Structure 1
Amino acid sequence: MSQETFAFTSSALRSLRLQRELLELEERRRALARQSAPRRYPLPPAPARRPPRCRDPAVHNALYTGDLLRIKSIFKDESAANLVVETVSEELVWSPELGLWVLSPRTKQTSPLRIAAGRGYGDCARHLLLQGAEVDAVVGGRAALHDSVAGGRLDCARLLLAFGADPNVLCEEGLAPLHLCTDPESLPCAELLLAHGARVNLGTRERRLTALHVAARHGLEAHVELYLRHGAEPARRSREGETALNAACAAAERPEDAERYCRVAERLLAAGADPRAAGRKDHTPLHNACGNGQPRLARLLLRHGAAAAAPNGAGYTPMDCALHAVDEYRHQHPERTIALLLDHGAGPVNPKMLKFCCRCPRALEVLLNAYDRVPPAEAWAEDVPPELWQEHEAFYTSALRMAAQPRRLQHLARCAVRRHLGARCHAAIPKLALPPALRRYLQLPLEGLIR
């Protein structure tokens, strides 16, 4: 908002002065009433003084533009520094009675200190504090420290803390300032808060999320390292039972995020995070990684002892989650995740589950080669689009031809060896004293055909 948006007048000063005179007159009237009242019964306590509210556009303009001269002329005492700034905006809301969207006025509240600190106006914030602005006042849902941290205003956050701001103050939603460090640029603010006594294991009011949960969910490796150095507990669970490792694996949804979430998971595992810890709906980190089509993350978890065949609350294993995600993440090499799970002890799936991966020939091939006899094709053949069948006709035709037919002796021997090794396939097969071609054959390589 530019400084020329509103023409500054003395109406703000007059309105504030008049309101103060009215308050003083009311206090004198009540004092006289107390003196003349009989003392037989104790007087009820006087209600807490309600801070004045301001909707004056000139005051709003001075605050939102950081006009220090105007702010100094308006906010000259404690009463003015602690007034509540109100704005009214029209928002569309659904009216069930009318059956349509209607404009409804919505009042939002904040404080002068919140505005100055959240926008990085350090000189303005200092003036307000010197005039008696309450540094920890929660107005409109947040305190000034919340806004300065959320906006990455390091100098303002340092100023507030120097004036005694509580680094663990909770907003109405139950979040401390440390919980609002949600992007890489907020690392200096997180360091500042911790240096001033922020509790690294403090949970949010409702969900009991710690700063480590928040950093892991946003894939912030540097924040995770910082919190671990300050005593963050990787085993700390949220109200839903999730650890920070659960949060990281659940949030790793996009392919471009795979690298940073893997680094976050590595830091957590090195600090003692349990790869088998089940969270919401008994999902383990491996369930989440497989459900998000993240083979690198799945490999990391399996290398640290994640259970490849553990069921969740609905009875789904990580393999089931991987199959449900094949169609959505078919460009993220879902066959690699499937092969990893098979190498770590996951068995062949129920043939009914093949329909979830039939549109990805590579994933279907890996699964079909885990059986010693190819299941009937009725479970999946009808779900293959004609254009995809035409594009991969050689593979689909070979799979259809081998359905319910005995496989070659070589394949049967492969199944027997893998069945014997079980969850040790990933570690034992590379060490077998066999020609390289046979070792590779035991690892279910893709050939584009079912033989």
Structure 2
Amino acid sequence: KLKYISTMFRDTFTFTPSTLRSLRLQRELQDLEDERRALYRSPRNRQTAAVSQSVFRESRTLSQLSSDSAVHDALCNGDLDKIRVIFKSKEAVNATIQTVSHELNWSAELGLWSLISKQKQTSALHIAAERGHTACVKHLLGHGADVNAAPGGATALHTACANGHTECAQLLLSIGANPNAISEDGYAPLHLCTSPQTFLCAKLLLEHNARVNLQTKDRENTPLHIAAKHGLDKHVDLYLNYCAYSHKKNREGETALNAACSYADKPEAFGRYYKVCKMLINWGANVKTAGKKNHTPLHNACGNGHPDIVKLLLLHGASVNAKNSAGYTPMDCILQAVEDYLEQHPERIVVDLLNHGAGPVDPKMLKQCAVSPWTMEALLNTYEVIPLCDSWIESVPLDVWQKHQVFYESIIQMINKPRSLQHLARCALRNYLGTRCHSVIPQLQLPNSSAEFLLLKLEGYIK
């Protein structure tokens, strides 16, 4: 009847596309119903018809799984009762599920942000493992889920470890998940342990023979590089005790120590990064290894205003006057960062560099530390004569000048005047000792006040 109506009026009436689609769908359903009834007219075919109808229902269910939001919600929420109803067969458990995410994308051509939709292939096991729904993961594995399937380019173990779901990772590994599976992006599960809550996952992976020195495909980073980059001191300790190579270099020639010093730029995480650097050095990391743009760990630590790491590197033989590709020394790096790290006492770094033999600073660089009187004092005490202040005096903020007026006025009074004999003697001795100031002066049998003076103790004025 439907077929007759659509044929009869096709040339008589104008149907909208949606109307035509509706008619086609109804016609298909009618055809299927006619076939079912025809099969049931013959008793010997009733059993075959029942099987066919069952297969049809399952086929439709599998196709609906791909985009059914109710199914996706059940998996995301860990609704075990619904999951038991939906995922009964091996085919359903391993069905590919399509998800859509919306991301902001910057268009340089249009000069604005646009919302774009991205489709991603996944599976029920991946979604459950990503959300940490252990009971759901167990049900899916018990019904034949492929533990090493990677419909979206990564396995369920990748997603479980990336999100720190230890119980899910344990379950997947016990079923035979590959701890060294490489994702489409070139990462093993161990590379995705990038937060403190992933520590137990990392431990589980290593206990199941994950390769601790496996490198990523893109930048050739090891798990040790990645843990050091994120300041994960417990991860670093774990990897080193599983024989991670502290001297291993990535594609850019950087070791884990380079990575730690490069990313130690948040004061609230300074303590963790210091522990990481100390462990790496104790396990043989070379403090002189230069990586990207010829930056050494000391360049990076100075650029990030981390006084404790700077001291640690210097005590282990870091090259105080090494130059990077731009020709900058570690001293140049800290002077360029003074204003950003005032609360971290950049003068401590400057004094340590000077006591380890840092070369003289061009007076033009004084402008960069105009907001830090303590840093300026340390530098001025390496000059036998105070240079002209024209290059920096106008850069001092009024509030800083008022707070440290005694210091700044003492500088002005000493311009082009001879320094004290005591200061000149200090300069002579320090020039003689060079890089040995930090080690020799404390060994001299001098009063504490004299030793501190020689090591550039800050006093708050210039004389």
CA distance in 1, matches of 2:237, 2:57: 52
SS in 2 for 1:173: coil
* Offset of residue 344 of structure 1: 0.4
Q: Aligned to 2:163, which of 151, 167, 178?
A: 151
* Offset of residue 91 of structure 1: 4.6
User: Which piece of structure 1 moves more, 115-124 or 265-274?
Assistant: 115-124
Q: Do structure 1's residue 357 and structure 2's residue 364 form an aligned pair?
A: no
Q: Do structure 1's residue 216 and structure 2's residue 218 form an aligned pair?
A: no
Q: Do structure 1's residue 415 and structure 2's residue 424 form an aligned pair?
A: no
Q: Do structure 1's residue 74 and structure 2's residue 118 form an aligned pair?
A: no
Select the structure of larger CA radius of gyration: 2
More helix by share: 2
Return closer, same or farther for 1:410/1:205 CA change in 2, 3 Å cut-off.
Answer: same
* Alpha carbons 2:357, 2:436 under 8 Å: kept: yes
CA distance in 1, matches of 2:54, 2:416: 87
Return closer, same or farther for 1:52/1:178 CA change in 2, 3 Å cut-off.
Answer: farther
CA displacement, residues 260-311 of structure 1 (integer Å, 9 cap, x when unaligned): 2111111111100001111111111111111111111111111111111111
Return closer, same or farther for 1:52/1:58 CA change in 2, 3 Å cut-off.
Answer: closer
CA distance in 2, matches of 1:362, 1:190: 44
* Alpha carbons 1:52, 1:83 under 8 Å: kept: no
Match of 1:232 in 2: 244
Return closer, same or farther for 1:196/1:306 CA change in 2, 3 Å cut-off.
Answer: same
Q: Do structure 1's residue 282 and structure 2's residue 294 form an aligned pair?
A: yes
* Offset of residue 333 of structure 1: 1.0
Q: Aligned to 2:179, which of 139, 153, 167?
A: 167
Match of 1:193 in 2: 205
TM-score norm. by structure 1 comes to 0.86
**Structure 1 residues 317-336: aligned runs within 5 Å:** 317-336=329-348
* Offset of residue 404 of structure 1: 3.1
* Alpha carbons 1:365, 1:450 under 8 Å: kept: yes
* Offset of residue 139 of structure 1: 2.4
Q: Do structure 1's residue 244 and structure 2's residue 251 form an aligned pair?
A: no
* Offset of residue 53 of structure 1: 6.1
CA distance in 1, matches of 2:304, 2:106: 35
* Offset of residue 103 of structure 1: 4.4
Match of 1:444 in 2: 456
SS in 2 for 1:88: strand
CA distance in 1, matches of 2:343, 2:110: 46
What letter corresponds to residue 268 of structure 2 in structure 1? E
SS in 1 for 2:118: strand
Match of 2:145 in 1: 133
SS in 1 for 2:214: coil
User: Which piece of structure 1 moves more, 347-356 or 412-421?
Assistant: 347-356
* Offset of residue 22 of structure 1: 8.7
* Offset of residue 230 of structure 1: 0.8
Would you say how many aligned residue pairs link Structure 1 and Structure 2? 412
* Alpha carbons 2:65, 2:71 under 8 Å: kept: no
TM-score norm. by structure 2 comes to 0.84
Q: Do structure 1's residue 291 and structure 2's residue 303 form an aligned pair?
A: yes
Return closer, same or farther for 1:225/1:99 CA change in 2, 3 Å cut-off.
Answer: closer
What letter corresponds to residue 265 of structure 1 in structure 2? C
* Alpha carbons 1:51, 1:84 under 8 Å: kept: no
Tell me the percent identity: 53
CA distance in 1, matches of 2:271, 2:422: 38
Match of 1:202 in 2: 214
CA distance in 2, matches of 1:216, 1:202: 15
CA distance in 2, matches of 1:404, 1:233: 55
Match of 1:60 in 2: 72
Consecutive unaligned residues of structure 1, counting only runs of 5 or more, are 1-13, 24-49
Match of 1:378 in 2: 390
Consecutive unaligned residues of structure 2, counting only runs of 5 or more, are 1-51
Match of 1:338 in 2: 350
CA displacement, residues 35-83 of structure 1 (integer Å, 9 cap, x when unaligned): xxxxxxxxxxxxxxx9986111222122122222322222222321121
What letter corresponds to residue 111 of structure 1 in structure 2? S
Return closer, same or farther for 1:22/1:220 CA change in 2, 3 Å cut-off.
Answer: closer
Return closer, same or farther for 1:284/1:137 CA change in 2, 3 Å cut-off.
Answer: same
Q: Aligned to 2:121, which of 109, 122, 142?
A: 109
* Alpha carbons 1:145, 1:160 under 8 Å: kept: yes
* Offset of residue 356 of structure 1: 0.7
* Offset of residue 346 of structure 1: 0.4
Match of 1:401 in 2: 413
Match of 1:425 in 2: 437
* Alpha carbons 1:149, 1:181 under 8 Å: kept: yes
Match of 1:176 in 2: 188
CA displacement, residues 139-172 of structure 1 (integer Å, 9 cap, x when unaligned): 2232100111122211111111122111011222
RMSD, matched Cα: 2.4
What letter corresponds to residue 149 of structure 1 in structure 2? C
